[in-house]
Amino acid sequence: MIGSGENAQVQPGSETASAPASTLGVVLLNMGGPEALDEVEPFLRNLFADREIIRLGPWPWLQKIIARRIVKKRAPKSREAYRLIGGGSPLARISAEQGRALAARLAGRGDYMVRCAMRYWHPLAAETLAEFAQAGVSRLLALPLYPHYSRATTGSSLNDLKRAAAESGFPFAIEQIEAWPDHPAYIRALATTLAEGATNFAGEEYSVVYSAHSLPVSFIEAGDPYLEHIQRTIAALEKLTGLPGQLCFQSRSGPVRWLEPSTPDMLRQLAANGVVNVLMVPISFVSDHVETLYEIDIQYRELARSLGIRLVRPPALNTHPDLIEALAQLVP
């Protein structure tokens, strides 16, 4: 087990540096996102070309062709979503801010170099590894900014980092953390922001709704621990706050069976039950990006308003001190 976080999980068989090194490179892994509207289409092509998320056809080369066709249809709608949140995703910027905050928190503990690697947009893993290689840092810790493991997020990002390392020609030794769904400092961060969001209701009754990124049911049936990790986060949070909530899932697309209920369906059910105030906690996201800024803040808030519900979202964790403390405790 790596790190002092009691729930850090390390992949069996992780490599260990064969020679001592003064610096540990910490690689914060995240999805990435287009920072300008003309980057939306190539970002989506990278996303849909990833066979660890979805297999489009029996061969990788065919997947790229199918992905291009899908992206051509989806790109206009996606560009509009990014336009409405300021013209691009803030995810790379926020991840870099988290990295700088983590580096500052680690200062004095040892010799660390903290950088980010995005899965589908810049800085890509190969670009980040080149920076480590140039600095002569060969011992790395891969630390996902996804608290909950799924092969579609953490798994794909870790595999991408390892492929890039193997292709780099530099003798990287990579250890990895896979999940931290109920790390105490992470749970404290969620509890603090939940309480902050609840002040908007000024003492009125409200219902807590946990909205997580959805996943095809087939992933869970194949053993993906994502849902169990989400449930662990919620259990730890509710134990700390004493506030019960209901889980639903957002960001679904494509003709497969997804985890249910969907977030829109949950809002409709709550409205039918007479609920008028909803505190929607984006439980699987540690940073603001299109899923929080567009889906929740614009789409779901408009739906809620049409149903007679006031929807409030707590602040995203972003660089919350307790989140940074959780990351620091995961680093050895």
Overall size of the chain counted in residues: 332
**Residue 291, annotated as binding a ligand:** yes
* Calpha distance 104→124 (Å, rounded): 23
- Tell me whether residue 122 is annotated as binding: no
Full DSSP string of 56-122? -SSSHHHHHHHHHHHHHHHHHHHHHHHHHTTSS--HHHHHHHHHHHHHHHHBTTB-EEEEEEESSSS
| Parallel/antiparallel/unpaired status of strands 207-213 and 277-281 | parallel
Residue 94 is encoded by which pair of tokens?
A: 């926020």
Rounded CA-CA distance 32/160 in Å is: 13
Residues 166 and 87: their CA atoms lie apart, in Å, by 35
CA dihedral (235, 240, 241, 243) positive or negative = positive
Q: Which residue has the tokens 């700088």?
A: 100
Binding site for Fe(2+): what residues are annotated?
Answer: 213, 291
Tell me the binding residues: 213, 291
